[in-house]
Amino acid sequence: MSHAARFSPIAAAGRPPGQNERRGDPRLSGPRVRSITARVRGGHDIAVVDLSTSGALIEGSRPLRPGGRVEVHLAFDSQRVILPARVERCLVAAIDADRGITYHAALSFERRFDWLCEEETRAVSSLHEGCSP
């Protein structure tokens, strides 16, 4: 099942159309984003569901306190970055008999994730290089 087709507790809460979107910047998702190694301070591994220059949706086995601050450690290829972030919201995403509770937390970075902008620019440039005029 695709991420977009999952049940959305926000949409189910009865908000008018157009008020469910809270993102300030477009987000990247998919296998490339999922391959980013991520951890919050304290050594808790997390998975990156989607990512933008200003925030991320993460998945983990521990809840994060909304309003709290965390340091997110991200690694991809040879790049490593530590981003301070604010926890905007955290909710139960799944309950599984074997894996326990899975949480989704929305984070807003305290500074822009410029490396992501550079990656997007490189990806677009490489697409254009392969095109003939």
Given a contact cutoff of 8 angstroms between Cβ atoms, the answer to whether 24 and 61 are in contact is no
The tally of CA atoms less than 13 A away on the side-chain side of residue 58 is 31
- β-partners of residue 91 are 104
Report whether pLDDT(9) > 70.
no
d(CA 89, CA 130): 41
Token digits for 90? 């955290």
Tokens standing for residue 64 = 């994060």
Cβ atoms of 108 and 57 closer than 8 Å: no
Task: Give the model's pLDDT for residue 3.
Answer: 42
pLDDT value of residue 33: 78
Phi-psi group of 84: left, alpha or beta (phi > 0 → left; psi -120 to 50 → alpha; rest → beta) = beta
pLDDT grade, residue 118 (50/70/90)?
low
**Average pLDDT of the residues of the chain:** 76
Using the predicted structure, report yes or no on whether residue 75 has a pLDDT greater than 80. Answer: yes
Using CA atoms, how far apart are residues 14 and 18, in angstroms rounded to an integer?
11
Confidence of residue 40 (pLDDT cuts 50, 70, 90): very high
Residue 41 has pLDDT above 90, yes or no: no
| Concatenated DSSP letters of 86-100 | EEEEEEEEEEETTTE
Q: C-alpha distances in angstroms, 28 versus 6, 57, 97, 99?
A: 17, 10, 30, 26
CATH code reported for the domain at 25-129: 2.40.10.220
Could you read off the pLDDT of 77-108 as tens digits, one per residue?
888 999 999 999 999 999 999 999 999 999 99
The answer to which of 18-32, 35-49, 115-129 has the lowest mean pLDDT is 115-129
Which pLDDT value is given to residue 36?
A: 87
